[in-house]
């Protein structure tokens, strides 16, 4: 994939990690841009990811938001330090229809053991579908 406008040096390694991950490729996740502390993702939500009422399943948007936040943390701590979600919360502002969905995750604070991030999930028209926040445990290079 070509370098995107908002890319920093973190983007290439992040795209390689995602390309090697069956979970992320299975979702069809794309990294549209990545720089220190901020990651933009997108995916095309198909009709097999809807809830019983025909909207995009909340779990899909939660997965997208958690991934955008976790990768934003990863741009700061680097691939060698483990980072695991401790807590994630998401608020759904609007029902979502199938189609392109984007998420931007950014860090709020990265400390020595915990990192805080937030994410905004939008439809193709740029309307905010969901807002999320997450806390990530970050390890040391030596410890794990």
> And the tokens for 125?
């028209």
HSE value, Cβ hemisphere, 13 Å, CA-based, for 112: 1
In the list 7, 31, 49, 103, the residue contacting a copy of itself (rule: CB under 8 A) is 49
Pick 5 or 22: Cβ nearer a copy of itself: 22
In the list 6, 8, 82, 98, the residue contacting a copy of itself (rule: CB under 8 A) is 82
Position 12 contacts a copy of itself (CB under 8 A): no
Show the CA angle centred on residue 24, arms to residues 33 and 122, nearest 5°.
Answer: 50
Considering only residues 62-81, where is the footprint of a copy of itself by CB under 8 A?
A: 62-64, 66-67, 70, 74, 79
In the list 3, 19, 21, 28, the residue contacting a copy of itself (rule: CB under 8 A) is 21
In the list 2, 80, 113, 125, the residue contacting a copy of itself (rule: CB under 8 A) is 113
> And the tokens for 30?
């794309």
In the list 58, 78, 99, 140, the residue contacting a copy of itself (rule: CB under 8 A) is 58
Question: What's the CA gap between 17 and 48, in Å, rounded?
Answer: 25
Contacts with a copy of itself by CB under 8 A lie at 17, 21-23, 26, 47-53, 55, 57-60, 62-64, 66-67, 70, 74, 79, 82-95, 108-109, 113-114, 116, 118, 128, 131, 133, 135, 137
């Amino acid at each position: 994939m070509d370098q995107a406008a908002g890319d920093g040096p973190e983007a290439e390694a992040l795209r390689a990690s995602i390309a090697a991950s069956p979970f992320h490729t299975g979702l069809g996740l794309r990294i549209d841009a990545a720089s220190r502390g901020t990651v933009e993702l997108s995916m095309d939500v198909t009709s097999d990811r809807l809830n019983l009422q025909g909207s995009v399943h909340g779990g899909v948007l939660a997965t997208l938001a958690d991934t955008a936040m976790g990768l934003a943390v990863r741009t700061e701590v680097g691939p060698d330090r483990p980072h695991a979600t401790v807590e994630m919360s998401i608020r759904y502002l609007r029902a979502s229809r199938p189609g392109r969905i984007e998420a931007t995750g950014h860090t709020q604070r990265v400390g020595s053991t915990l990192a805080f991030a937030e994410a905004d999930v939008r439809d193709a028209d740029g309307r905010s579908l969901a807002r999320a926040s997450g806390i990530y445990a970050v390890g040391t290079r030596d410890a794990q």
